[in-house]
């Protein structure tokens, strides 16, 4: 018989924060979405970090697959829910490899969590292996709103080798950072924020910008990307960002992280995923 965790809730819907390897124990007193204690539900070599209770029993139906179901979080503060989800995932990521699930991933009960772990065990194991020892860094670049469209040139390189426009500088910055990372993801507006969570996304650093090109505190957002970087190469990556800041005074460049690999939990975004 497959060994099960004895730390999980016994009944009712649970919010699933992320997947880790069995044996991890969260900090005592850590709470998740809805204020419930964070517990571990294990199935073989894998475990899910869950919080419960999450509303009345039967509040949500069974998901088609882990990560595909959304709970109605309208009864909660959207910002509080996003911050609680992030807190649980990032605390785990500080010490172990964690595969984040999307905010609002809810299962009907603990047994459904265990079935999900068993059904997707091979994929989860491969993702954890690929992401082990790696964290996500975010980079955003902004242009001065006062710059008129096209005023800086066409975006091509000048005679001195400097990209003329702010857009061109942002593209060049991304290419330089992508070369310094294992893989990268450029966020698009439609991918920026889960439906109904705009308020939380706007205040939570790990979500991407809700609307690309909209006004920001530092001007127009030209680049909003995530980069997967091994822990031991974090210093070198930060130096690359610092060099871009020095060479690109036309841009305001922000580095955030390290985060759990939120942007790379989908196998389609990871090259060289182990078979």
Confidence of residue 97 (pLDDT cuts 50, 70, 90): very high
- The whole-number average pLDDT for the span 228-246 is 95
- Same domain for 150 and 92, yes or no, is no
- Same domain for 99 and 153, yes or no, is no
Q: How far apart are CA 162 and CA 142, in angstroms?
A: 18
Q: To 10 degrees, the CA torsion angle through 12, 18, 21, 23?
A: -50
Q: How far apart are CA 137 and CA 177, in angstroms?
A: 10
Q: pLDDT tens-digit profile of 20-44?
A: 999 999 999 999 988 889 999 999 9
- Same domain for 86 and 175, yes or no, is no
Q: Is residue 163 packed enough to be buried (19+ CB in 10 Å), middle (13-18) or exposed (0-12)?
A: buried
Of 116, 131, 146, the last residue of a domain is: 131
Of 104, 131, 158, the last residue of a domain is: 131
pLDDT value of position 250: 87
Cβ neighbours of residue 2 closer than 8 Å, sequence gap 6 or more: 43, 44, 118
Q: How far apart are CA 113 and CA 230, in angstroms?
A: 30
Q: Is 170 helix (H, G, I), strand (E, B) or coil?
A: helix
Q: How far apart are CA 51 and CA 94, in angstroms?
A: 19
- Same domain for 147 and 53, yes or no, is no
Of 72, 104, 131, the last residue of a domain is: 131
pTM, to two decimals: 0.73
Q: Please give the C-alpha separations between residue 101 and each of 21, 34, 137, in angstroms, as whole numbers.
A: 14, 16, 18
What's 144's domain CATH number?
A: 3.30.70
- Same domain for 139 and 113, yes or no, is no
- Structurally, the chain folds into a number of domains equal to 2
pLDDT value of position 232: 95
Q: Is residue 32 packed enough to be buried (19+ CB in 10 Å), middle (13-18) or exposed (0-12)?
A: buried
Any domain includes 6 = no
Any domain includes 53 = yes
pLDDT value of position 10: 56
Closest CA to 230 of 205, 264, 191: 264
Answer yes or no: are the C-beta atoms of 50 and 14 closer than 8 Å. Answer: yes
Any domain includes 211 = yes
Q: Is 140 helix (H, G, I), strand (E, B) or coil?
A: strand
- Same domain for 90 and 37, yes or no, is yes
Any domain includes 172 = yes
Any domain includes 228 = yes
pLDDT at residue 157 above 70? no
- Same domain for 150 and 257, yes or no, is yes
Any domain includes 106 = yes
- Same domain for 151 and 47, yes or no, is no
pLDDT at residue 60 above 60? no
- Same domain for 37 and 85, yes or no, is yes
Q: Residue 67: give the domain boundaries.
A: 14-131
- Same domain for 119 and 47, yes or no, is yes
Any domain includes 235 = yes
DSSP codes, 48-111? EEEEE--SSTTSS---SSTTS-----TTS-HHHHHHHHHHHHHHHHTTS--EEPPTT-EESSHH
CA angle 237, 203, 218 (to 5 degrees): 65
Closest CA to 139 of 107, 77, 90, 184: 184
């Amino acid at each position: 018989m497959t060994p099960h965790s004895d730390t999980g809730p016994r009944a009712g819907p649970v919010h699933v924060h992320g997947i880790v390897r069995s044996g991890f124990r969260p900090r005592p007193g850590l709470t998740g979405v809805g204020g419930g204690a964070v517990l571990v539900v294990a199935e073989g070599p894998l475990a899910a970090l869950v919080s419960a209770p999450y509303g009345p029993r039967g509040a949500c139906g069974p998901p088609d697959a882990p990560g595909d179901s959304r709970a109605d979080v309208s009864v909660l503060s959207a910002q509080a829910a996003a911050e609680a989800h992030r807190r649980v995932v990032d605390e785990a990521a500080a010490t172990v490899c964690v595969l984040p699930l999307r905010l609002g991933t809810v299962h009907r009960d603990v047994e459904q969590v265990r079935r999900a772990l068993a059904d997707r065990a091979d994929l989860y194991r491969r993702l954890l292996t690929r992401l082990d020892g790696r964290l996500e860094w975010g980079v955003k670049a902004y242009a001065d709103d006062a710059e008129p469209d096209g005023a800086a040139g066409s975006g091509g390189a000048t005679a001195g080798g400097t990209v003329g426009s702010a857009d061109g500088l942002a593209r060049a910055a991304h290419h330089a950072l992508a070369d310094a990372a294992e893989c990268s993801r450029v966020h698009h507006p439609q991918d920026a924020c889960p439906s109904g969570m705009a308020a939380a996304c706007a205040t939570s650093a790990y979500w991407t910008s809700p609307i690309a090109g909209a006004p920001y505190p530092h001007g127009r957002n030209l680049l909003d990307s995530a980069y997967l970087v091994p822990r031991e190469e974090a210093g070198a990556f930060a130096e690359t960002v610092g060099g871009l800041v020095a060479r690109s005074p036309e841009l305001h460049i922000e580095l955030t992280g390290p985060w759990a690999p939120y942007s790379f939990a989908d196998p389609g975004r990871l090259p060289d995923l182990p078979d």
